[in-house]
Structure 1
Amino acid sequence: MGVSNVAAVLGVFDISLDKLSDGELWLAQFFRGLSDGATYASVALALVLIYKATGFINFAQGSLALLGVYLAYVLSVERGLPVALAVLCAMVASAVVAAFVERVFIRPFPPDHVLPLVIVTLGLLLIIDSAVGIVWGFRTRSLPSMFPSGAPIEWGIAQLTWRTIGNLGTVFAVVGLLSLLLLRTKVGLAFRAVSSNLESARLVGIRVGPTLGFGWALAAAIGTLGGSLVVPDLLLEPSIMLRVLIFSLAAAALGGLDSMVGAVLGGLAVGLARNLLVTFLDLSELALATAVAVILVVLLVRPTGLFGSTRVERV
């Protein structure tokens, strides 16, 4: 392919050779992608927890996280609490709300009836998002970051900020704590048993309903934490977590819907891909469409994702 043909191809995607050869720009978007990817990974972790236990995707996950983030905003900005403490309180509050939602709206349906449960979670998404807009309005707000400003590592325009380091460290810490919880505690063992085989868990005396409620509460708390990580980079408004949910769904599908490690790696991959595509291909208007395309391609090529386990069913 000649130089003129290469230039024509680059022109179709509005790519400049100056951008492609700018090492500082590549590094800057790499750092930004890591920060965004960490937030997608945290929400993807929440999706994976519910999917492991129930076999369906909780579309209300982002809305429960949105409610928690607004509570964190009220406690930190309006009530003056330290941001980290406000986020912790919001995580507890959103966990309580999620446990209530699971008990009232989810538990009455048989766990193997997936379609009604999906419809219920879609309805909850619309209700919670609308309620948040009615209570707090639709104007944008700003939530401070839990991490200090500044960048300990700089190279021209590329900066590895404390926020990026904090986001990554938080996600890996959450994965470690979740692993300890699931592997070393009785409630974690019960949750793993329910995730493995719901009927067998019920037969050996495990209380399936409260265990699933615990999973919903834990997922909501993690989702609130993820939302609190992403909002300082954006502006808080009622639709913000819907966009995050789509990218997180892509991350969970890519890594595997039942793999926590896959959720983290998928989140980082989606964050990096999103920033690089927006920067070098000028696809900011198609970012969400690209995430949906990732979900479709993964489901068609490898439905279990890169790290997901294949379900074996006895016939």
Structure 2
Amino acid sequence: METLIQLVIDGLSTGSIYGALALAIVLVNQATGLINFAQGGLAVLSAYIAYALQQTGMPLLLAVLLAIAGSFILGALVERVLMRRFERGDPDTAVVVTIGLLTLVTGIAAVLWGYNNLQFPSLFPLTGVNILGAVVSVRSLATTITIVAIMALLQLLFMRTKLGLALRAVADNPDSAALSGLPVGRMLMVGWGLAAALGAIAGALVGPQLTLTPGMLDGALVYALAAVILGGLDSPIGAVAAAWAIGVLENLVSVYVPAVGHDLKIAVPFVLIFVILIVRPQGLFGRKVVVRV
């Protein structure tokens, strides 16, 4: 029983890493209607910026806050300078542009900081606590709590605030939103800026658990995209719940299903996607879209 509890807790901790990126992907989709494949690269770049500021002697918390603010500005500039040229065109083209942006951002990080593994300092203590016989680090527990808080704030933003409703309106139908008096361009910039800031938070949370490298979040991005598909593109709660489910099921399957083991556990999210898309194409928590013709 203690082994089972330990696997579940470790899975929730790993799932929180996926969930942090998944929330940023949901935010971009809610604000622009696009899937941003560059989200992981932007998160890593912000982590490098926080690391560089901290290395100058700046307190870690202040360095992270400045990196978050800088990421908001960077995200807004990316939308204004680059993405706006493609947002009104073919969505597939815009998605390809985000893949190219991921390559560009990763390359910039590699040129500036190299490919050597760097140890990102932790915002939380590394001590462990005993939960039902399982040992969990305070850092993992704090990361999970932070993700839950961000998930709740995003849900509140999109459902209960004028800004969130404006972002959703612009993403759903920018032409109608413009006719209603909404500043479409400004809303798109805000959406990309918020997503980049959220990615910076994810980078600061994930960096201490992984070694800081340009490709640090490449694998996590795949799981995050799987979580978004499983949970629903329009549901922050669904994205986090799916990320946790992936993390827990991966751990359980790798231990209790010998035929899968550790090497093949990466297939777990893809099997889940296959099943969920057959049963519920909009995701577990997604809204079914009805189109009138």
TM exceeding 0.5 = yes
Match of 1:115 in 2: 92
Does residue 1:27 correspond to 2:5, yes or no?
yes
Stretches of structure 1 that go unaligned for 5 or more consecutive residues are 1-22
Match of 1:218 in 2: 194
After superposition, the CA RMSD in angstroms is 2.0
State the shift of 1:235 in Å.
1.2
Give % identity.
Answer: 43
Match of 1:73 in 2: 51
Stretches of structure 2 that go unaligned for 5 or more consecutive residues are none
Residue by residue, what CA displacement relative to the aligned partner does 1:188-239 show, whole Å, maximum 9, x if unpaired? 3321322343222111011112111111111111122122222222211111
8 Å Cα contact 1:72-1:87 kept in structure 2: yes
- Counterpart pick for 1:87 among 49, 53, 64: 64
Read off the aligned partner of 1:90 and give its amino acid letter.
A
- Pairwise mapping of residues 244-259 of structure 1 onto structure 2 (< 5 A)? 244-259=220-235
- Pairwise mapping of residues 8-47 of structure 1 onto structure 2 (< 5 A)? 23-47=1-25
- Pairwise mapping of residues 139-218 of structure 1 onto structure 2 (< 5 A)? 139-154=116-131, 158-218=134-194
Match of 1:3 in 2: none
Match of 1:64 in 2: 42
State the shift of 1:83 in Å.
2.8
> Relative to structure 1, is the Cα distance of residues 203 and 226 closer, same or farther in structure 2, using a 3 angstrom cutoff?
same
Match of 1:136 in 2: 113
Read off the aligned partner of 1:53 and give its amino acid letter.
A
Read off the aligned partner of 1:219 and give its amino acid letter.
A
The separation in 1 between residues aligned to 2:147 and 2:187, in whole angstroms, is: 24
State the shift of 1:178 in Å.
2.4
State the shift of 1:74 in Å.
1.5
- Counterpart pick for 1:230 among 185, 190, 206: 206
Read off the aligned partner of 2:106 and give its amino acid letter.
D
Larger radius of gyration: 1
8 Å Cα contact 2:49-2:67 kept in structure 1: yes
For this pair of structures, how many residues does the alignment match?
291
The separation in 1 between residues aligned to 2:168 and 2:124, in whole angstroms, is: 33
Q: Aligned to 1:233, what secondary structure does the other structure show?
A: coil
Match of 1:275 in 2: 251
The separation in 1 between residues aligned to 2:182 and 2:283, in whole angstroms, is: 30
> Relative to structure 1, is the Cα distance of residues 285 and 129 closer, same or farther in structure 2, using a 3 angstrom cutoff?
farther
Read off the aligned partner of 2:24 and give its amino acid letter.
A
- Counterpart pick for 2:217 among 227, 241, 248: 241
- Counterpart pick for 1:284 among 234, 253, 262: 262
Q: Aligned to 2:122, what secondary structure does the other structure show?
A: coil
Read off the aligned partner of 1:36 and give its amino acid letter.
T
> Relative to structure 1, is the Cα distance of residues 108 and 153 closer, same or farther in structure 2, using a 3 angstrom cutoff?
same
Q: TM-score, normalised on structure 2?
A: 0.91
Q: TM-score, normalised on structure 1?
A: 0.85
> Relative to structure 1, is the Cα distance of residues 127 and 307 closer, same or farther in structure 2, using a 3 angstrom cutoff?
same
The separation in 2 between residues aligned to 1:188 and 1:110, in whole angstroms, is: 19
Range with greater deviation from structure 2 (293-302 or 63-72): 293-302
> Relative to structure 1, is the Cα distance of residues 154 and 190 closer, same or farther in structure 2, using a 3 angstrom cutoff?
closer
> Relative to structure 1, is the Cα distance of residues 99 and 32 closer, same or farther in structure 2, using a 3 angstrom cutoff?
same
8 Å Cα contact 2:76-2:190 kept in structure 1: yes
Range with greater deviation from structure 2 (176-185 or 48-57): 176-185
Read off the aligned partner of 1:182 and give its amino acid letter.
F
The separation in 2 between residues aligned to 1:39 and 1:242, in whole angstroms, is: 12
Read off the aligned partner of 2:90 and give its amino acid letter.
H
The separation in 2 between residues aligned to 1:135 and 1:261, in whole angstroms, is: 36
State the shift of 1:93 in Å.
1.2
State the shift of 1:249 in Å.
0.7
Read off the aligned partner of 1:71 and give its amino acid letter.
I
- Counterpart pick for 1:50 among 7, 16, 28: 28
Range with greater deviation from structure 2 (29-38 or 146-155): 146-155
The separation in 1 between residues aligned to 2:255 and 2:51, in whole angstroms, is: 30
